[in-house]
């Protein structure tokens, strides 16, 4: 796949950011987030008769950045963002292939080429909070890739930003959300010393493999019925995939190994009053639990364990963050400090409005999300019909071979 850059320019907010808003405070949750970048890519089969696509996208992006002005800024230090309207890089490129060929059997190495920057360039060379690349295919299809810096944006912010940009591009207005995008989250998650807390590092592995697994609605319904107790789609698929990894390592006859799970929980709806879904920042805490491979992986018990963990988060929020905020809620009863731990990262974005992102030429035919530097990673996104779920799985070669041959994965996944 050959990609040729057509142009590159800086897009600034359509209105200058007022002086009193030029310093945006990072909350404790922001400061604890890994300083990495991640991308969302929206694929459109054809833009048809749309005229002046480039100017149309740039103008609407400029208008949207007026409301999301920290995204046009630069991280000043660990406490704040300088919102001095530096702007967002907007790159256009031509892709010498048909888009259908790319998304029929997506390869992470090819999808990475659709990004405006690779992950290292985004943070070092560009030092950007956000960047855009619009990729035009020979067939008339368009893939819009938007990259974000994680310490400023979480997945919810990113999804709603792109949807709202599309809303402006298709003739809508954001005036109704102007007071629901940027506000001081340090009042909820006050800044504190995080130097003693380990953020961890992106567990990069250049030899890891990324594959997409599609779970059709009918197969998910069967799985839910087999598990019982009415699990959500996320709970059912998490149990299936976590169970596959538990079974894989159980076969190695090492009873000391535990397979852990990191499960992000969006706090926006859990707070009282709730935070708007589209607000900037990181409003996510992490639940962590584990399953010993010496115990048989039973889906209904895994679902119960996940629900217990979410209940711990709910209780923590209900009690008003006693003893300060936490970035990780741990099921201590499940953790054996004397055991080796293999940790899996699960994230469910199936409730986010990816397929509502219509720039004026229809909804996307496919969306992809994630970052290459994070291994043992499972990212769940709705399929385009809103009924099934696709999962981007990134594992080592050895683990992927075990995972994709698991009988339950073969039974439920396409």
How many angstroms separate the CA atoms of 337 and 360, rounded?
54
Assign domain 3-187 one CATH number from 3.30.420.40, 3.30.1240.10, 3.30.559.10, 1.10.10.60: 3.30.559.10
How many angstroms separate the CA atoms of 412 and 129, rounded?
38
How many angstroms separate the CA atoms of 257 and 250, rounded?
8
Closest CA to 383 of 403, 396, 365, 397: 365
Q: pLDDT tier at 201 (50, 70, 90 boundaries)?
A: very low
Residue, of 371 and 367, whose pLDDT is higher: 367
Q: Which of 30, 150, 247, 399 is catalytic?
A: 150
How many angstroms separate the CA atoms of 15 and 261, rounded?
44
Could you give phi then psi for residue 354, rounded to 5 degrees? Answer: -60, -45
Edge-first strand order for the sheet with 328-330 is 209-215, 389-395, 377-382, 340-348, 257-266, 284-292, 328-330
Indicate if 209-357+372-412 has the same CATH topology as 3-187: yes
Query: Tens digit of pLDDT for each residue in 230-254?
Result: 999 999 999 999 999 999 998 876 7
Q: Is-catalytic flag, 332?
A: no
Rg of the chain over all Cα atoms, to the nearest angstrom: 21
Least confident of 159-173, 224-238, 332-346: 332-346
Q: Is-catalytic flag, 358?
A: yes
- Where are the chain's structural domains? 3-187, 209-357+372-412
How many angstroms separate the CA atoms of 279 and 277, rounded?
6
- Class for domain 209-357+372-412, per CATH? alpha beta
Dihedral (Cα; 100, 364, 127, 2), 10-degree rounding: 20
Determine contact, residues 71/153, Cβ cutoff 8 Å.
yes
∠ CA 346-351-357, nearest 5°, is 115
> Considering Cα of 373, then 145, then 37, then 342, what sign does the dihedral take?
negative
Query: Tens digit of pLDDT for each residue in 73-127?
Result: 999 988 899 999 999 999 999 999 999 999 888 888 889 999 999 888 998 888 9
Q: pLDDT tier at 49 (50, 70, 90 boundaries)?
A: low
Query: Tens digit of pLDDT for each residue in 25-41?
Result: 998 889 888 888 999 99
Tracing tokens 């299936």 back to the chain, one arrives at 240
Closest CA to 77 of 191, 187, 189: 191
Q: Which of 35, 84, 331, 358 is catalytic?
A: 358
pLDDT at residue 158 is higher than 50: yes
Kindly report the number of other CB atoms within 10 A of residue 320's CB atom.
Answer: 7
Determine contact, residues 281/183, Cβ cutoff 8 Å.
no
Q: Return the pLDDT at 166.
A: 96
């Amino acid at each position: 796949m050959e990609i040729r850059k057509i142009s590159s320019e800086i897009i600034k907010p359509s209105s200058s950011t007022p002086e009193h808003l030029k310093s945006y405070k990072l909350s404790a949750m922001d400061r604890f987030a890994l300083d990495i970048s991640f991308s969302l890519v929206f694929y459109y089969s054809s833009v048809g008769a749309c005229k002046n696509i480039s100017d149309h996208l740039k103008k609407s992006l400029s208008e949207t950045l007026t409301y999301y002005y920290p995204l046009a800024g630069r991280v000043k230090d660990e406490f704040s963002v300088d919102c001095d309207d530096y702007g967002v890089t907007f790159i256009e490129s031509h892709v010498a292939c048909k888009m259908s060929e790319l998304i029929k059997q997506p390869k992470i190495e090819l999808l990475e080429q659709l990004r405006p920057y690779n992950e290292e360039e985004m943070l070092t060379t560009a030092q950007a909070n956000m960047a855009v690349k619009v990729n035009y295919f020979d067939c008339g299809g368009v893939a819009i890739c938007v990259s974000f810096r994680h310490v400023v944006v979480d997945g919810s912010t990113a999804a709603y930003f792109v949807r709202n940009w599309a809303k402006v591009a298709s003739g809508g207005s954001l005036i109704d959300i102007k007071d629901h995008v940027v506000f001081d989250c340090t009042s909820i998650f006050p800044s504190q010393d995080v130097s003693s807390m380990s953020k961890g590092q992106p567990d990069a592995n250049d030899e890891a493999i990324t594959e997409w697994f599609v779970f059709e609605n009918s197969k998910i319904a069967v799985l839910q019925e087999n598990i019982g107790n009415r699990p959500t789609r996320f709970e059912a698929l998490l149990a299936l995939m976590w169970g596959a990894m538990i079974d894989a390592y159980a076969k190695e006859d090492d009873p000391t190994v535990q397979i852990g799970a990191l499960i992000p929980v969006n706090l926006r709806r859990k707070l009282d009053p709730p935070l708007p879904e589209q607000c900037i920042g990181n409003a996510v805490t992490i639940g962590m639990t584990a399953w010993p491979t010496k115990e048989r992986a039973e889906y209904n018990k895994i679902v119960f364990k996940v629900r217990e963990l979410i209940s711990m988060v709910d209780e923590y929020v209900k009690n008003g963050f006693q003893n300060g905020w936490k970035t990780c809620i741990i099921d201590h009863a499940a953790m054996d400090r004397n055991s080796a731990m293999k940790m899996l990262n699960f994230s469910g974005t199936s409730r986010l409005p990816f397929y509502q992102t219509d720039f004026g030429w229809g909804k996307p035919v496919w969306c992809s999300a994630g970052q290459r530097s994070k291994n043992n990673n499972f990212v769940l996104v709705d399929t385009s019909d809103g009924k099934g779920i696709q999962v981007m799985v990134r594992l080592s070669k050895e683990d992927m071979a075990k995972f994709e041959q698991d009988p339950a994965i073969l039974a439920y996944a396409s």
